[in-house]
Amino acid sequence: KRAKSLRTNEKLIFSEDFNRFDLRTWTHEITASGGGNWEFEWYGNNRANNSFVENGTLFLQATLSEEFFNESPTTQNLVLQPGGTFPDQCTDGNDFGCRRQTAGANIINPIQSARVSTKNSFSFRYGRVEAKAKLPKGDWLWPAIWMLPRDSTYGLWPASGEIDILESRGNKASNGISGIETMQSTLHWGPKFSENQFHLTHVEKTLPAGEDFSQDFHVFGLYWNSTTLYTYLDDPSNKVLVVDLATPSWVRGDFEKEFGDPVNPWRHGTTAAPFDEEFYIILNLACGGTGGFFPEGMAGKPWNNLSPTAPSDFYNTKSSWYPTWTSPALVVDSIKVWALEETMFTNSNQRPSKVF
């Protein structure tokens, strides 16, 4: 687990080898909110089953909620209230995230999983990130290595940006929809929710035939400076998503025609805005959801994204998807961040901030 700098003008500012699970660095999200996508998991701080370190690797593992409750999530009046007192209190109350209750066909989140981040310990602006990880195998699992802004300088999501270094589906590819053999990188940005122009900054890369991302560890990388942002797979020369940050987001999205300059949320930022602020690192394993990441047409999909009973539709077909969960964990070997030799800011409660 050696940290190797891409160039001599880089300096290692964050290194996590997961020799232990340092909860001063990693904060658990504790919520049933569904990540804005009405996902089927709830996130807790269960270090016995869902977030733990073994042999120098971090496991974020999805399990059945019935194993936690010792009864089916369809049991009438079963109440899910993630969190209690600090530091295990609920972290996100959006979309009934701090309380869910089974009533009729509406059930509590049937999957338990984990999401951790450096939001309270480390953030940075401009640099290079490398995460060495192996992805989960199992239908409807949704691993992610991504970043959010420390401060919503430009407004509510997606105005302040989102950087998705890696997302994937645990399914096999079907009907032209990619699966575990494919990684995705995406930037989310737009002046308001309905104008998210992520489709302009979204790329997928597929492994050679017969290979998938659950078989071995791969390096998922990000290079980010004031004029360029790109993700890469295994080596910086193997680029995935490439975005020219010298082109202002307002121009790239052609927002001028519809909104006019007065509502440009990035007008006081640099040309890289909203990707000119400090971001922090997030690791999570989600499951399902109705936001569209698992589109209609995927083979064997047991729910419709417009169904008001999607979680129960999913759970009631457990016999078809649960046997596919042969390795239902996002396994992370290491994460490293290098600062670039240009003006940048870092924020860390563990190490001195450095500007160079």
pLDDT, one tens digit per residue, over 195-232 is: 999 999 999 999 999 999 999 999 999 999 999 999 99
In the chain, the percentage of residues whose pLDDT exceeds 90 is 87
DSSP 8-state code for residue 172: P
Write down the mean pLDDT value for the chain: 93
**Residues forming a β-bridge with 223:** 128, 230
Predicted confidence at residue 69, as pLDDT, reads 93
188 three-state secondary structure? strand
Dist. CA 9–CA 2, nearest whole Å: 18
Cα distance between residue 298 and residue 292, in whole Å: 11
Q: Residue 164 in contact with residue 190, Cβ under 8 Å?
A: no
Res. 7: pLDDT tops 80? no
Instruction: Give the tokens for residue 306.
Output: 């417009």
Domains of the chain: which residue ranges?
A: 22-348
- Name every residue whose Cβ is closer than 8 Å to that of residue 18 and which is 6 or more positions away in sequence: 53, 56, 57, 58, 332, 333, 334
Using pLDDT thresholds of 50, 70 and 90, give the confidence band for residue 261. low
pLDDT at 347: 61
- DSSP codes of every residue in 39-107: -SEEE---TTTTEEEETTEEEEE-EEHHHHHTS-TTSTT-EE----STTSS-S--GGGTT-EE-BTTB-
- Per-residue model confidence (pLDDT) at position 344: 46
pLDDT(272) > 80: yes
Q: What is the pLDDT of residue 83?
A: 84
Q: What is the pLDDT of residue 155?
A: 97
Going by pLDDT thresholds of 50, 70 and 90, the confidence category of residue 86 is: confident
The CATH number given to 22-348 is 2.60.120.200
- Residue 263 is predicted with a pLDDT of 85
Largest Cα span, the chain: 61
Taking the C-alpha atoms of residue 34 and residue 38, their distance in angstroms, rounded to an integer, is: 4
